[in-house]
Amino acid sequence: MKALEDRILKDGVIKPGGILKVDNFLNHQIDPALMYDMAVELKRLFGDREINKILTVESSGIAIAIMTGYVFNCPMVFAKKSKSKNISDDVYSVEVPSFTHGNVNTVVISKEYLHENDKILIVDDFLATGAALIGLRSLAAQAGAEIVGAGIAVEKVFQGGGNKLRAEGMDIKSLAAISEMTDDGKITFA
């Protein structure tokens, strides 16, 4: 999606350790019109499938996911980072390691909001190692729900998570796929 690639080139900042800082428009300050345009693009990419629910994980996936739910006219559910180690029986739960923060979060979804007959589009702002997608796939599997596909704003292809999950059968489409990033600030799209 050219508008997103252009925005990354204009406002993205590369930080040491393979971090792409896009908090000017994607995950701290957020450009609502861009979120809407990305949701419309996801509708173009996945609109021919039967999808009844958008799934993401807090926090920075929520903005694009709610817009996607709006365009798809279906509910959005976000997995929550659990505050306690004591997981109750009324949630599905999974451990998700964070690439950015170097820790592990337990994320949960209430069993009320994920069902066997759900046909799910996962939406997230970033795909790097794939940890969040693997976690959400596990939550869906616990519920017996079907993952129809995953729509990602920015994929860092060189971190390998996306292609590993594609090889395992997940239909992932990224709106901007970065094949290379150099410490001196050069970004190459796939």
Using CB atoms within 10 Å of the CB of residue 23, give its burial: 0 to 12 exposed, 13 to 18 middle, 19+ buried. Answer: middle
Judged by CB under 8 A, the chain residues 144 through 183 that form the site for a second copy are: none
Query: Based on CB atoms, which residue is closest to a second copy, 61 or 161?
Result: 61
Q: Does 67 bind a second copy (CB under 8 A)?
A: yes
Which residues are CB-contacts of 65 (< 8 A; sequence separation ≥ 6)? 54, 55, 56, 76, 78, 123, 124
Q: Does 70 bind a second copy (CB under 8 A)?
A: yes
Query: Based on CB atoms, which residue is closest to a second copy, 67 or 136?
Result: 67
Q: Does 23 bind a second copy (CB under 8 A)?
A: yes
Segment interacting with a second copy, rule: CB under 8 A, options 40-48, 106-114, 122-130, 146-154: 106-114
Query: Based on CB atoms, which residue is closest to a second copy, 58 or 180?
Result: 58
DSSP 69-130: HHHHTS-EEEEEE-SSS---TTEEEEEEE-TTTSSEEEEEEEGGG--TT-EEEEEEEEESSS
Segment interacting with a second copy, rule: CB under 8 A, options 103-111, 124-132, 135-143, 148-156: 103-111
Q: Does 86 bind a second copy (CB under 8 A)?
A: no
**Backbone torsions φ then ψ of 124, nearest 5 degrees:** -150, 160
Q: How far is the CB of 168 from a second copy (least distance, A)?
A: 27
